Chains A and B, each alone.
Chain A
């Protein structure tokens, strides 16, 4: 999975610290998400999307293909 948190953060001129404060996490958590070390929970992803006024899919992009049922 790829994410565009850093890109959105730059667009809004937010530091990691500021974003962390707004969504109620530590700065390290933002760092881990940006570096793709850790997958955020649905709640955290939704909070990020709300802060940047976008959809979760705009921030977090699933790159791998999912096999169909048939």
Chain B
């Protein structure tokens, strides 16, 4: 298993986690505009604009680097916008076994997390808690981060043993 395929779930977990933090900060500033500017060494620093620029440059750079390594490591086996993620690795029996073990763990995760979330959403609805769209985005991103971490840990455990 090449390193790109091995670390791909970890890269995606970090990507979605950074996206979670990015959205959370933008959302926070939108609701409290006074948090956009911070005082640093006596100067007013526009943190909001800084984060937006870092985010834009960072995500653009990530997209370029990711696309490069994606093409290089999948050797044209997967189309750039294919729905098949690179961690689905079926090179041989060993990698199929790794993939089967990891996806089994992911399946267990979803069969636990989705009914739990349905229950939480139902309870929140019953107590008339207003569920905002931004919360939905955070929850979905968080689920995705955990999903990729489970995948990575499952692979890493099998390979290191």
- Residue numbers of A with Cβ under 8 A of B are 24-26, 28-32, 35, 37-38, 40-41, 44
Contacts and interface: CB of A to CB of B under 8 A. Distances in A.
B1 interface: yes
B93 interface: yes
Contacts of A41: 93
A17 to B, nearest CB: 13
A12 B154 CA distance: 33
Q: Which of the four size classes fits the interface of chain B? A: 10 to 19
Given A38-B93, A38-B94, A28 B161 contact: no
Interface in B82-96: 91-95
Among B92, B93, B98, B159, the one with the most A-chain Cβ atoms within 10 Å of its Cβ is: B93
A29 B92 contact: yes
Contacts of A29: 92-95, 97
A44 B92 CA distance: 10
Contacts of B95: 26, 28-29
B8 to A, nearest CB: 16
The binding surface of chain B is classed by DSSP as helix
The binding surface of chain A is classed by DSSP as loop
A50 to B, nearest CB: 16
A32 B97 contact: yes
A11 to B, nearest CB: 22
A38 B93 CA distance: 9
A40 B94 CA distance: 9
A28 B93 CA distance: 9
B83 to A, nearest CB: 25
A41 B161 CA distance: 22
Given A25-B94, A44-B93, 10 more contacts: A24-B92, A25-B93, A26-B95, A28-B158, A29-B94, A29-B95, A29-B97, A32-B94, A32-B158, A41-B93
